[in-house]
């Protein structure tokens, strides 16, 4: 917990504080009924009201204002348990509200700090109950009347549901954050396309599909023409914009089932699922023309072009590396043939 940022700790503390307001507010009801049946003195009534309504806000304020909110909140939870033990004793161990209070106080400790915190707080509760029982002459009246039992039901019914809802909400947040982190680990920061790792996973997946069932797939490689000259002439900001522009064109043109990513530097790769033949050639030409037409600096006529090579999987390929090599060979032919053009792998010949 100590490794969490202060903001994260404060958010956790505020969630606990909300549970405290609910738990102590509902827990006050059976306590008040028992105090009424015991004809308790006014000081006990004032103590109960302070515990139920004042303490939750004091605890929240102290924890949120602290430089170590979680440490302070653990201390607050310990105080909650000590107060719970006090009320068990002052209610003369009235069985129903006592058991409900102990159960609810144990539940939130398990939810917040696990077994270790729950054990510490239960020990504090037991010690507090023993001390106040001694101060109260070890008064013992365990019988719970019907009205006391009914008064304990709202806490018994609502608090576990609230704890479960809070736990579910937190788990959903963690799941979404984990998913977001997983996506970030597979995404290129500049272009927001797949990174090389994600590309290779997609390539391996399609290669295995082809080897198992003959599913068609094509690998396309794109390289920015004279990228160093573009950077030297217009600056690296324009070079970065060229990469982002290519990424936008790829996202706009490709299908959801295709995987486009930054292969490295100014080179991109696209894994096209269930695609082959003339359709791939048409797609490559559309991509090339769209990229060439995109203006990098509005109103200044600065453009970038790409050379594209692509290779369809065939039975002569036994590894993914051979597939990459075939697409790379096609890309080399496109660049050596004058750049700003598309070319299929040598085994398939040039675009018709």
Could you give the dihedral angle defined by the CA atoms of residues 45, 48, 54 and 56, in that order, rounded to the nearest 10 degrees? Answer: -170
Residue 146's CB: how many other CB atoms inside 10 A?
8
Cβ-count burial 269-290 (b if 16+ within 10 Å, e if not): bbbbbebbeeebbebbeebbeb
Task: Give the integer Cα–Cα distance in Å for 183 and 181.
Answer: 5
Task: Give the integer Cα–Cα distance in Å for 212 and 139.
Answer: 78
Task: Give the integer Cα–Cα distance in Å for 277 and 286.
Answer: 15
Task: Give the integer Cα–Cα distance in Å for 204 and 225.
Answer: 28
Contact between 199 and 313 under an 8 Å Cβ cutoff? The reply is: no
Cα dist from 181 to 8, 59, 115, 145, 283, whole Å: 17, 34, 29, 54, 32
Please list the alpha-helical segments (H only) found in 50-145.
Answer: 55-65, 69-90, 95-135
Look at residues 326, 334, 242, 322 and name the one whose alpha carbon lies nearest to residue 284.
Answer: 334
Residue 333, phi-psi category: left (phi > 0), alpha (psi -120 to 50), beta (remainder): alpha
Residues 6 or more apart from 315 whose CB is under 8 A from it?
none
The residues carrying an active-site annotation are: 266
The helix/strand/coil state of 224 is strand
- Can you read off the two tokens belonging to residue 36? 């009424």
Residue 47's CB: how many other CB atoms inside 10 A?
18
């Amino acid at each position: 917990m100590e490794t969490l940022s202060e903001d994260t700790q404060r958010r956790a503390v505020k969630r606990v504080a909300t549970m405290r307001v609910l738990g102590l507010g509902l827990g006050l009801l059976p306590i008040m009924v028992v105090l009424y049946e015991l004809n308790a003195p006014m000081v006990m009534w004032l103590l109960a009201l302070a515990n139920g309504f004042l303490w939750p806000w004091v605890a929240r304020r102290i924890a949120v204002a602290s430089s170590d909110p979680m440490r302070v909140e653990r201390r607050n939870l310990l105080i909650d348990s000590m107060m719970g033990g006090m009320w068990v004793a002052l209610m003369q161990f009235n069985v129903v509200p006592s058991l409900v209070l102990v159960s609810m106080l144990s539940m939130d400790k398990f939810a917040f700090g696990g077994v270790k915190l729950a054990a510490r707080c239960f020990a504090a509760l037991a010690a507090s109950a023993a001390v106040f029982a001694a101060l109260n002459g070890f008064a013992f009246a365990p019988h719970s009347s019907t009205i006391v039992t009914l008064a304990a039901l709202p806490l018994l019914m609502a608090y576990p549901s609230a704890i479960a809802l809070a736990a579910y909400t937190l788990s959903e947040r963690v799941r979404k954050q984990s998913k977001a982190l997983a996506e970030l680990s597979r995404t290129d920061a500049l272009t927001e396309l797949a990174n090389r790792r994600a590309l290779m996973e997609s390539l391996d997946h399609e290669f295995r599909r082809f080897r198992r069932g003959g599913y068609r797939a094509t690998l396309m490689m794109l390289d920015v023409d004279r990228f160093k000259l573009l950077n030297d002439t217009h600056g690296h900001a324009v070079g970065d914009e060229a990469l982002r522009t290519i990424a936008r064109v790829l996202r706009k043109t490709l299908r959801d089932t295709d995987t486009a990513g930054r292969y490295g530097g100014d080179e991109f790769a696209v894994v096209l699922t269930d695609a082959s033949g003339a359709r791939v050639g048409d797609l490559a030409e559309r991509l090339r023309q769209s990229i060439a037409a995109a203006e990098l600096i509005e109103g200044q006529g600065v453009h970038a072009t790409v050379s594209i090579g692509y290779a369809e999987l065939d039975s002569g390929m036994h590894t993914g590396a051979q597939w990459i090599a075939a697409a790379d060979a096609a890309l080399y032919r496109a660049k050596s043939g004058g750049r700003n053009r598309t070319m299929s792998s040598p085994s398939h010949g040039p675009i018709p």
